[in-house]
Structure 1
């Protein structure tokens, strides 16, 4: 990694900033996703953060009504265009459309079968690298609950803000501000293009669903019939190396062929009885 002097940037116009900095172009490939935000003021504040840190993609999953709430627009001062043009979707999978790398944010350590969080600054370098030519998303949970275990399991990486207190807690907009700032400053450096053609997050989930159906078809029985733990372990196995689109296609061919073979055997048994 080296200081970037030649990388593509978006030049600002009419700036009043104390330290003028060209906006790195890779920031257009980064999406901020808020899952079920409950406070209109927080939504407006996040829109302001998105605009201030050179980002442009804001997705809201099943948010509280905010379009006609004054607090949302007041807190979005200077970023009303972001608030007006944000994408409101009913389900998380809709917000993940086209995303190849998902980073979940959390302040808690999780099940050992899930990826453990890294510091926000470390995650920002990963995001800055991958977003040079791929779509990356930062996922933030509800103000009261954060992200669920199921949502964390969707992520290739989880990250947290190191804090001095034993009970760390940040306002939603504060958390987005810290991550967005770290991503912005990391993006000022120069990174090589990633050679990995990451499979889209939604494609990975569809793949895991097909694996689960196949396991059910061949009557695999996990220890103590604990399917939840078993599937977490299975995800951990596949996550040891990034899965590319071609990897999914190869594995799908194996699983679909196996599935069809089992169905043919079942039909033979049925016809013989």
Structure 2
């Protein structure tokens, strides 16, 4: 059964190769989408060639809805987006994938049903398909090589859906199982290094010693140290002192 999460239906219009349908299913499921609709697949349906490329997303293929034409595939939808890389003579709003999924999320949040159309591999959607859409999704690709693989286009759109509907951290810096070092632990590490370096005569000449110690202490505060890091750095310094003592 499809998941309970409200989401758009991804409609593959007249897809040609089963492998691309399978790869599109995998791309959808990567980002939590599982409403696939197929319009008149060239090689019929079901297609065994799709299973190999689905790679764990076979459920989407099993539950995919089959339609004879685009009109019937979007008949229950109140808002339809059409992906195309080519300029068209049809007058419609043209939006980026990001804006498209922002609009989709807003409308779905209001209880509407949204569909996204993806065209066949050879030439993309026909004007007759796009005429049934409310807006066109245009990907900012290289104008000298604008063609996107079907699964690539599905993945790009699914990623934008995920960005609009789920928390996507711009950066994650996790400390691991040991956790971040406390201020006290970093202070003790700084004192350890400062004391041993002073014994080694590192802070020379004396007129610069204070600024060197300040720079060293500032270095520790700039480093995002974990408790494991602190323990390792203590160990490194202790071992260097032992090695020096053995050489004396």
| Aligned partner (choices 82, 97, 102) of residue 125 of structure 1 | 102
Establish whether residue 54 from structure 1 lines up as the match of residue 14 from structure 2. Answer: no
**Residue equivalent to 2:22:** 44
Q: Is the 8 A contact 2:71 2:132 kept in 1?
A: no
Equivalent residue number for residue 71 of structure 1? 49
Alignment of 1:155-170 (within 5 A): 155-170=133-148
CA deviation profile, 1:154-193 (whole Å, cap 9, x unmatched)? 111111111134231110000000011101111127xxxx
Measured after TM superposition, the shift of residue 35 of structure 1 is 0.6
**In structure 1, C-alpha distance between the alignment counterparts of 2:133 and 2:47, rounded to whole Å:** 32
Structure 1 runs (4+) greater than 6 angstroms displaced: none
Match of 2:70 among 92, 104, 119: 92
User: Within 1, Cα distance between the matches of 2:30 and 2:115?
Assistant: 17
Distance (whole Å) between structure 2 residues aligned to residue 92 and residue 80 of structure 1:
23
Q: Taking structure 1 as reference, are residues 117 and 166 closer, same or farther at Cα in structure 2, changes over 3 Å only?
A: farther
Aligned length: 164
| Length-normalised TM-score, structure 1 | 0.56
Q: Could you say what secondary structure the match of 2:6 adopts? A: helix
Which one has the largest radius of gyration?
A: 2
| Cross-structure match for 2:5 | 25
Aligned 8 A contact 1:109 1:117 in 2: no
Unaligned runs of 5+ in 1: 1-22, 190-273
1:139 corresponds to which residue?
A: 117
Is the 8 Å Cα contact of residues 26 and 187 (structure 1) preserved in structure 2?
A: no
**Equivalent-residue separation in structure 2 for 1:88 and 1:179 (angstroms):** 21
Q: Is the 8 A contact 1:33 1:59 kept in 2?
A: yes
1:185 aligned to 2:183? no
Q: Distance in 1 between matches of 2:80 and 2:48?
A: 32
SS in 2 for 1:131: helix
- Provide closer, same or farther for how the CA distance between residues 186 and 151 of structure 1 changes in structure 2, counting only shifts above 3 A: same
